[in-house]
Structure 1
Amino acid sequence: MIRRAARILAVPAVALLLVSCSGTDVGGSRASDERWPQWDETADAAEVSEFMKVAVPEGATEAKGAVQVNPREDVYLLSFVTSEENAEDIAKDLRSEEPLEDRKVDLAPQGERFGHLGLPEPETVEGARWVGVCPPCVGDKRRSKMQWIEVYVQTLKADRARVYLQAF
């Protein structure tokens, strides 16, 4: 009787093992050997701006956007050059309880994200100021689809600043 029960249980176990090793998920829709992250090659600054609910200021230059596709949550990237005043207004619009401040972090950047846009990672830019916020935590209903949004502001010259925004 015990041998028969063991055989009955072995059949589903073997079937489950074969499915898990077959290279597809249970629904068969996505190959398990796909590499993550991936880039959505159709995403642009306008799409990312719309998702973040951040308007690229009129007169801004070098606007670039990208979406890094991940299995659990996508990462949205947006960067542009604008006036220092516009950059600070964007940071204030995130509704953080903290102001923009120098971020002294000894950690390496979170992978090469902005490098995909041909930019240095903002964590590595000397003098870049940072602020981040959890939109649902501060009651920002405009950004309720995001768990986190952060901005880095790099002062350039002649009252210009590069804005780096990242959200997921």
Structure 2
Amino acid sequence: MIIRRGARFFAALAVVVCLTACSGADADGARASDERWPRWDESAGVAEVVAFMNVAVPEGAAEVEGAVQVNPREDVYLLSFVTSEENAEGIAEDLRSETPLEDRKVDFAPQGERFGHLGLPEPESVEGARWAGVCPPCVGDERRSKMQWIEVYVQTLEADRVRVYLQAF
């Protein structure tokens, strides 16, 4: 009888210890599940995004902005800058999309507020923006084998100046 009570006590103690250890609490008592998603990696910027996307920001580009949105499954890398139409076309071609930049209808909602973090409108909502997207591993682009998808939007601003939006995950 005493052995049974002792076994029950230790079994109950083991359950309590396991529940406490598995609760996701850290040293400060905060729960890991309380972390908000998505969130922005405040230490990441243009350099980290360029390295992940394996793209070059054209010399003389203006308004260069980059950010990383941290998500539980995959992070989203954002890059935007203003450059010439020729540079934008070259960047789009370098993605190895099966189709060239094409007009994209503005009849669907943006994929959340991502570029808004950079102070820009979402490219899906920009009238007249042209788009191309590609799955790098699907087209054998070993330079970008770490990502599942990369897309570019090109918005015409004025004579030979365009805003380039790049998004990858």
Structure 2 gaps, min length 5 = 1-7
Cα-to-partner distance string for 1:104-148 (whole Å, 9 max, x where unaligned): 253211111000000000000000000100000000000000000
Residue 151 of structure 1 aligns to a residue whose secondary structure is strand
Indicate the residue corresponding to 2:94 in structure 1.
93
- Contact (CA 8 Å) 1:57, 1:86: kept in 2 or not? yes
Amino acid paired to 2:122: E
Question: Which has the larger Rg?
Answer: 2
- After superposition, where does 1:1-168 map in structure 2 within 5 Å? 22-24=23-25, 31-168=32-169
Instruction: Output the TM-score relative to the length of structure 1.
Output: 0.85
Cα-to-partner distance string for 1:40-84 (whole Å, 9 max, x where unaligned): 111111211111001000010000000000111000000000000
Structure 1 gaps, min length 5 = 1-6
The alpha carbon displacement at 1:149 in A equals 0.2
Q: 2 CA distance for matches of 1:107 and 1:19?
A: 45
When the two chains are superposed, the root-mean-square deviation of aligned CA atoms in Å is 2.3
Residue 91 of structure 1 aligns to a residue whose secondary structure is helix
The alpha carbon displacement at 1:19 in A equals 6.0
Moved over 2 A (4+): 10-20, 22-25
Instruction: Output the TM-score relative to the length of structure 2.
Output: 0.84
**Percent identity over paired residues:** 82
The alpha carbon displacement at 1:16 in A equals 6.6
